[in-house]
Structures are given as structure tokens and as C-alpha cells.
Structure 1
Amino acid sequence: MDELLGGHLRMLREAAATGRLPGRAELDDCRAAGALAAERGASVRALVEAALAMAESVSPTPLPALRRTVSALMEGYENAQRAALRQEEAARREFVHDLLQGRADRLAERAEHFGLRLAETYVVAVARPAARAATASTAAPGDGGLAGEAEGTARRIEDALVARFGSHNVLVAVRDGTLVCVAPGSLTVANGEFTHHVRQTFAPGWRVGLGRAHRGPGGVVTSYREGANAIELGDRLGLRAPVLKAADLLVFPVLLRDRAAIEDLVTSVLSPLLAGRGGPEPLLATLEAVFASQGNQTAAARRLGVSTRAVTYRLERIRRLTGFSPDEPTQRFTLETAVLGARLLDWPAHPLR
């Protein structure tokens, strides 16, 4: 520390002898010394204590000069700390981008720095605030749906998870307007904890998509895409649950894989509903409510906010128009698959060819 503060001591001695305060160039030297102390890992307390100890050897102690030099030392130290933090955050953002894009450039080596061992199995949770907008606590412009303080929000949630699970277990970051949490597949409770903090942070309407557990860097990418796709499917299907698991939605990518087949199913089974009075939407909503209520028409009526008689009438109308009844097991499966396909394809808002 004596090596760093030699200029500080000379300034104090000169001030004591002449009464002259340090000039701009001398204060810049102090700032440089403070920055170097930060880069070498010295604490700000140790820096200030060393500067004050040197001042004790100067008589009389030039207090105005001492105040200026110590202030410059601390300013240089803090500037270096902020610069290091910005560099770390930039490296972190770049790593997260490369990790979730599957770019392999020194990925395993860089992952260790951020607490991940990529040979393990990982699950990725993706959280999206309501309407892709953050709450008032993150109200300034920022990354996609998250705003201004998004990085700070991610860091606070990560700090809470690290405090519970350790620094080599979780990574929380901002990605494409969402919060992303990467955690070991064996640490299933981490996803619940992440969801808890999301619930505390964002206004109602938030959603979390959970990918499945996969191994290695490619597995992280796959799990991330599954989590993001789960949220998208939830929106398209009108699902109410705030937490959506990719494992529970595996049938939908299968349906979409053969688009021609699902379009044919929707057209063949549901197009007669276009002739229904009031259009097909009330009839589709009735089928969805009945399927969600396991065929219980009373429960479906409560879900829709209509009378049980109205549900019964609509189901009879569907049977007459389509020839399919949800009361018959095989026909129920065909109807339910067709309704799911219609929601996935946004039919009838977007007519099929």
C-alpha cells in the first residue's frame, strides 16, 4: 500500500509546507492509485486507513488537502469497482446468450466461472411478466418485456437462490424479455423457489414455463426452448395455470408436427360449427369447459358463467352440427383433439386453407 500512496504522502507534505491544495493532475494521480488498489483486491477500508496513517506522520496535518486526496482515492477506487462490475455483467450477458444459443466457444470453461458444471443435467425455467411488461418496480425501458432494472431484478432473485442453494447451483439472467433460471435437474425445489420469487416480483398475469431435464450444454438449450414454448402454448390454448410444464404439453408439438393432418381434422370436425347461431366461439368454449371439467356439465356451466341448461343445449347443438358427441369416448377424443388443434392454429380467427 505504501507503494500506491507515495504520491499521496508527497502531496500532504507539500501542502503542510506551502499551504497549497493539490491540483487537478495530482488528484488524478490519487484517483489512479485508488483504481489500482481496487484492481489489486485491496479493500476500500484498508486504502483509507493507510492514507490516514500516512497523514499522521505529517505535521501539522493539512486537513483540507487530506480531505481532497482521500476523496480522490475513494473516487478512483469506486470507479474501478463500477467498471469491473460492468465488465462482469457484459461477460455474463454474453455467456447467457451463447449458452442459450448453444454456441460452444469455451462454454464449459466460462460456465465454471458463473457456477455451472455443464456435464450435469439441467432444467431451465422461463418466467414472463404479464403482457411482457414489468411491474412498477422495473418500470424504466429495458430488455424486451422486462424493463430498466431487469438485470437488478434477476440479480436479486439469483442472490436469494444462491443464499439457499449455493453459488454452484443456479444461474438467473434476462433473456429476450424474460427471466431465465438454470438449475440442476436434481435440485427440483429450486424451480419452486424461483417461481415463488417471480410471484412476489411481478403483477398477476405472469407465467413460468418449465423445460424438461436434459444433460450438457445442448440440453440447456433444449430445456430453455421447451420452457419458452410452454408459455407460448399456454397463451395459444388459453390455459389458466401460471406454471406450465413442458412435460405436460408434449402432445401439442406432436399435433403441430403434422400441420396438414391437424388442419384436416379441424376442418372436417369443427367447420360445421361456423353455421351455428352466434358463431363457433361459444360452442368451442363450451367444449373446452366440458373437457376441463371431465364431462361434468354443472362444473362446466360454473366455469362459463352460464346455466347448466345452456351447456346441455350447446352440446346438443354441437352433436347435431358435427355428428360428434363428447359423451361417446371415441368421439370425445376426436372432438377434444380437434378443439386443441383449433386453438393451436387460432381457428376460426385465422381460416384454414
Structure 2
Amino acid sequence: MTRRPPWYSNPGAALERRQRLIKIPGANVADQGIPDVFLDGYARILADASATGRRLTRDELESRRVVGERAAEAGHGLRALVGAHLDATRRHWPAAAVSPDSVLAAAAQAVDAFAEGYERAQRLAVRQEEAARREFIDDLLYGRSDLGQLAERAERFGLRLSFEHAVAVAQGTVAYDEGDDAPREVERALNGRFADRSILVTTKDGRLVCIAPGDQDEVLAFFAKQAYAATDGGQVAIGRAQPGPGGVVQSYEEALNALDLAGRLELDAPVLRAADLLVYPVLTRDRQAMADLVHSVLGPMREARGGAQPLLDTLTAYFDAGCVAAEAARRLSLSVRALTYRLERIRHLTGADPSDPVHRYTLQTAVIGARLLDWPAADF
């Protein structure tokens, strides 16, 4: 014969034991600050379901989900709410229950539905917060909102736009979203080291973006280091510190322009500072004048065999190598003799000698203009 536990034949003892198992010392509703409204209907559902041992109806489950949503919106913690339900189960244990198991089964279904509603409200709140954050970032980086309102919204995200801010932008070989590993790793590293600073890390158009106070260059330098590693050798550009709400837009655009210049000029430095590249916007400010310079100085190279591109590459390598012929030849995989021949050919076609300091500045400026204007591929 199967041996029964000592409390099996005594329903009162069984009930008392069950209650001891679910009782949480000090877990009454008042102690946890949980209003009774979030337990409305729970005792009735518990009594009705446990009286027959049935499962909760669809309407009963939905009613608990709705209450769970309201509790989440009110800001109560889920742990305290579950404790309140367990305490209510103990206090309102149905006397007419089929068995203790039927009470616990009904309680489990009710609490599970309550938690589902709570989590549903939390997910909605997170989505709304993410949407508000994305809208703020778009307005901040595009300057589309009223600056006064933008400054007020910025405080919610830890920025004080009345001060100077600088922006760093990192791009890799792939596009990044905020939920990707790379931006999350960078943000964790920054928060771990500069938790007390007013920093915002986000993504925009597939790039990583960091906004930091303008007087804290160490933050952006650290961001550049972390972003370089997270993007597997991507490139980072840092704009100059600019004042006021509109300063973020200016610094952001400077960083983007620096990345664009790097692509056009084939600058491979891992970190670019807009302050070091100011000469290039000056050179391209009058596009027509630059186009005229390129056409008049370098245009005759189109007559060379193979076109102007090989000779333009030669000048680019020569100037990038500090006008050292041997180094330029190595970069082009040419012999020094072949390089010297090309330089002589350039002098003959253009009338400008690359080795002459007087001619060198004009040629180098024209070469920079050609790279910025994508000449000779682009016809102008």
C-alpha cells in the first residue's frame, strides 16, 4: 500500500501547510505600497475558478492583463506586485476550493496574465521612449526644431545645450543601428568610464555618433578609440566644439564633411579632426574657381598616352610622399627612373615643374581640387 504523508488525511493541516509555503513574511499590500485597486477582482476570480477546478476564462485573463498594464503605468515594481498577489492568495484562500492545487493553479494563471499585461505596458513604454529619443536625435542633428524647445528636450537625455558641444562620427564597412553590438559596446565602454558626464551615444544614417561637452576632448578621443575597435578599423571624424543648441548641428556637419573629404582625398588616418582640415573647405568654397584652376593647370595632361589619370596619380603620390621620388615610386610600384620620366612628362605638358617650389604650390592645389571634384572622371 502506498504510504501517505502524515497531513494527507487532514484537509486543515494540508491547507495550513500550503499557506505556509506561499506566505511571504511582511508582504502585505500596505507594507509594499501597492494600492488595492490592482487586486480588484482577484479574490473573486480565485474563488470561482478553484470551486470547480476550471481554468480561467478569456475575459478573466484579459481583465488581469488590463490591471497589469495599469500597474506598470503607475510605476509599481513587478516584484512587489507579485508579492501582493501571493499575500492576497493567502488572505483570501477560498474555503470552497476543490483542492489546494486548484487554488494554486488559478492563482498561477491570474498572476501570469497580470505579469503579461505588465510586460506589455513596459514594452510599449520602451518603444515610445525609443521613438521620442530618435525624434529628438533627428531634430538635434538636423536642426529642425525650435532651439528653445530643443534645449528643454535635451535635458531629458542628459544634455545641456546652453554649453559648447562637439560631435564625433564613426563609420565602418557596414551600417549600424542602435540595437547592434557595435554601438552598444561603445556606449557601455563610455558609460563605464565617464558615467558622470553629459554624453549621448547614438546612431544616424548607419554611423555611430557621440555628442559630448566641448571642453571634454578626452571623451571624444576615447569614443574614437572604442569605435575604431568596434567597427573593425572604421574611421572617426571629430567636429570642432560649437556653442548653443545649433552648435551640435554645426559640429556634426563638420564631422560628416571630414569623412567625405577623407573619402575623396583617400585619407586613411583612423581619426580625423575637422580643425586640421579647414583648408579644404576654403579651397572648395568657390567651386567654379577651383574647376578653372584644375582645367587650366592639369587639363593638358589629357593629351598624354593613357589619359590624365596615371599622371594625376603620380602627382598625388609624389606630394603625399613629401616630394621624395624614391618613396613616391615605391607607393606606385614603379622604378625611380619611371617616376622621374612621368614627372618630366608632366612638366612638358603643363609647363609646371613639380620639383620647383614656385610651381609646386599651384600644382598641389590643382591636384587637391581634382580629387575633390573627381577630375578627370567628372567632366566640367
TM-score of the pair, normalised by structure 2: 0.83
Residue deviations 1:6-65, cap 9 Å, x none?
Answer: 322322222233323221111111112211221122222112222122222315361221
List aligned pairs for 1:207-226, cutoff 5 A.
207-226=235-254
CA distance in 2, matches of 1:193, 1:25: 55
Cα 1:147/1:185, change in 2 over 3 Å: closer
2:82 partner letter: V
List aligned pairs for 1:327-338, cutoff 5 A.
327-338=355-366
Which among 33, 44, 47 is matched to residue 10 of structure 1?
Answer: 44
What's the counterpart of residue 24 of structure 2? none
Which among 56, 59, 64 is matched to residue 25 of structure 1?
Answer: 59
2:198 maps to 1:169? yes
Contact residue 124 and residue 227 of structure 1 kept, 8 A: yes
Which among 69, 78, 99 is matched to residue 110 of structure 2?
Answer: 69
Residue deviations 1:225-259, cap 9 Å, x none?
Answer: 11111111111122222322211211111111112
Contact residue 116 and residue 168 of structure 1 kept, 8 A: no
Which runs of 5 or more structure 1 residues have no equivalent in the other structure? 135-145
CA distance in 2, matches of 1:153, 1:313: 48
What's the counterpart of residue 119 of structure 1? 162
1:196 partner letter: K
What's the counterpart of residue 89 of structure 1? 130
What's the counterpart of residue 146 of structure 2? 104
Cα 1:248/1:120, change in 2 over 3 Å: same
CA distance in 2, matches of 1:39, 1:118: 30
2:146 partner letter: A
1:175 partner letter: K
Residue deviations 1:278-307, cap 9 Å, x none?
Answer: 222221112111211211222222222222
1:50 partner letter: A
CA distance in 2, matches of 1:15, 1:111: 51
What's the counterpart of residue 260 of structure 2? 232
Contact residue 115 and residue 167 of structure 1 kept, 8 A: no
SS in 2 for 1:215: coil
SS in 2 for 1:120: coil
Which among 111, 120, 124 is matched to residue 79 of structure 1?
Answer: 120
CA distance in 2, matches of 1:108, 1:155: 25
1:126 partner letter: V
CA distance in 1, matches of 2:330, 2:72: 65
1:37 partner letter: A
CA distance in 1, matches of 2:167, 2:178: 23
What's the counterpart of residue 193 of structure 1? 222
What's the counterpart of residue 244 of structure 1? 272
What is the aligned residue count?
Answer: 337
2:171 partner letter: R
CA distance in 1, matches of 2:67, 2:197: 34
1:185 partner letter: G
CA distance in 1, matches of 2:42, 2:223: 49
Contact residue 171 and residue 231 of structure 2 kept, 8 A: no
Give how far 1:157 is off: 2.9
What's the counterpart of residue 45 of structure 1? 79
Contact residue 291 and residue 336 of structure 1 kept, 8 A: yes
2:318 maps to 1:275? no
CA distance in 1, matches of 2:76, 2:336: 74
1:115 partner letter: G
1:119 partner letter: S
Cα 1:45/1:115, change in 2 over 3 Å: same
What's the counterpart of residue 137 of structure 1? none
TM-score of the pair, normalised by structure 1: 0.89
Contact residue 162 and residue 169 of structure 1 kept, 8 A: no
What's the counterpart of residue 343 of structure 1? 371
SS in 2 for 1:3: helix
Contact residue 4 and residue 33 of structure 1 kept, 8 A: yes
Contact residue 116 and residue 170 of structure 1 kept, 8 A: yes
CA distance in 2, matches of 1:242, 1:7: 63
SS in 1 for 2:236: strand
CA distance in 2, matches of 1:347, 1:81: 55
Contact residue 209 and residue 230 of structure 1 kept, 8 A: yes
Question: Mean Cα displacement is larger for which, 320-329 or 228-237?
Answer: 320-329
SS in 2 for 1:169: coil
CA distance in 1, matches of 2:186, 2:87: 41
Give how far 1:349 is off: 0.3
